[in-house]
Amino acid sequence: MIELQNVEKTYQSKHGNVLALKKTNLKIAAGEIFGVIGLSGAGKSTLIRCINMLETPTGGKVIVDGQELTAMKDSELRKARQNIGMIFQHFNLLACRTVYDNIAFPLEIQGMSKDTIKQKVEPLLALVGLEDRRNHYPSQLSGGQKQRVGIARALASNPKILLCDEATSALDPQTTKSILGLLKDINKRLNLTIVLITHQMQVVKEICDRVAVIEDGTIIEEGTMFDLFTNPKTPTTKEFISSINNVELPEILKTAPMSKEYLDGSRPLVRLSFIGDSAGDPLISTLIKKYDVEVNIIYGNIDSIKDIPYGTLLIEISGDREHIKNAINYLHERKLKIEVIGYVS
Ligand SMILES: Nc1ncnc2c1ncn2[C@@H]1O[C@H](COP(=O)(O)OP(=O)(O)O)[C@@H](O)[C@H]1O
Ligand SMILES: [Mg+2]
């Protein structure tokens, strides 16, 4: 649905050139909720604004829904852009217009008649739950309600894609949840492709299917949420994940002598991560019964990634060396992620 090929963006300013986005390649499938996470200044906004050409890339191709936007004339581009809605951190509503008139605005610009506009705006008001606020002005709305207007306005021209630039960053956690819920809902109902940029891991975890991590204008890591959570490869990704998924070792183990290798009589400390169905497997009892080892549970947690259960379990296994080896092999064969953190003696 969206493809970036070697897309680059250099800003020219009084203080010299800023290479905000280095050669970037990205493919986002139709119907996907794709997240881009990075710290402030990493190039997130530049990246997302290149997708709808609010920023013209200084190199590379942007292809959306089979059409190359980077090769279009202005008039063609204006038309193609109707396929791409966008919402913003600070909502960007028109203060002098009511809720209804804000949503109607892009349709008025397209020259639609009052009746056609009404037919489009009414269901959108219902979709975002603002029917009773239609005559209110932005200053009379809460942040969450303003973003709902932003979403309805972005959907007015029936886009296939919705771009969200830090859309929940100005909202409190509760309101963030409700807006993310609405985005998930319209993603399913309208089969809308959503690209969302954020500096908050919590947001990504709540709704994204796949995510890219961006740093200094470069995508440094990309994958499914589960991959990223269970196997982060870069320090930046690890940092983002630990911000919400802090599986700290208990004090006693931090100070316990731990080696990288198996020593005679030492006990492996194992972190298991599992997702979806396998979360219900009788794993521990199988280990104990079948492999004749003892299992000490040190930490356990069940969370979710986009509504799918995601569990973490920290266990210590003790017993015969051979038994331990077989037990760990058994774990490796399961549909879960296993990491031997070290051997406690
Ligand atoms: N219009 C601009 N002119 C010059 N530099 C810019 C402009 N917009 C962004 N930048 C610079 O590009 C880099 C990436 O910015 P941005 O894409 O806004 O990052 P993010 O959204 O991740 O915070 C930053 O160093 C920023 O200062
Ligand atoms: Mg930004």
CATH number at residue 313: 3.30.70.260
In a shared domain, residues 135 and 86? yes
Q: Read off the pLDDT of residues 151-187 as tens digits, 9 standing for 90 and up.
A: 999 999 999 999 999 999 999 999 999 999 999 999 9
Q: Tell me the best of 46, 165, 166 to mutate to test the pocket of ligand 1, counting ligand atoms within 8 Å of each CB and taking the most.
A: 46
Q: Which residue's alpha carbon is nearest to atom 18 within ligand 1? A: 45
Closest CA to 9 of 220, 166, 218: 218
What is the DSSP secondary-structure string of 255-274? HS-EESS--TT-EEEEEEEE
In a domain, 117, yes or no: yes
For residue 113, give the CATH number of its domain: 3.40.50.300
Residue whose token pair is 């050669």: 23
What are the phi and psi torsion angles at 157 (to 5°)?
-95, 25
Closest CA to 219 of 76, 341, 90, 37: 37
Closest CA to 71 of 84, 83, 80, 61: 61
In a shared domain, residues 95 and 213? yes
Kindly give the number of the ligand 1 atom that is closest to the alpha carbon of 214. 22
Quote the pTM value: 0.86
Count of domains for the chain: 2
Beta bridge partners of 194: 33, 162
Beta bridge partners of 11: 18
Q: Read off the pLDDT of residues 35-89 as tens digits, 9 standing for 90 and up.
A: 999 999 999 999 999 999 999 999 999 999 999 999 999 999 999 999 999 999 9
d(CA 46, ligand 1 centre) in Å: 6
Residue 83 CA to residue 105 CA, distance in Å, equals 16
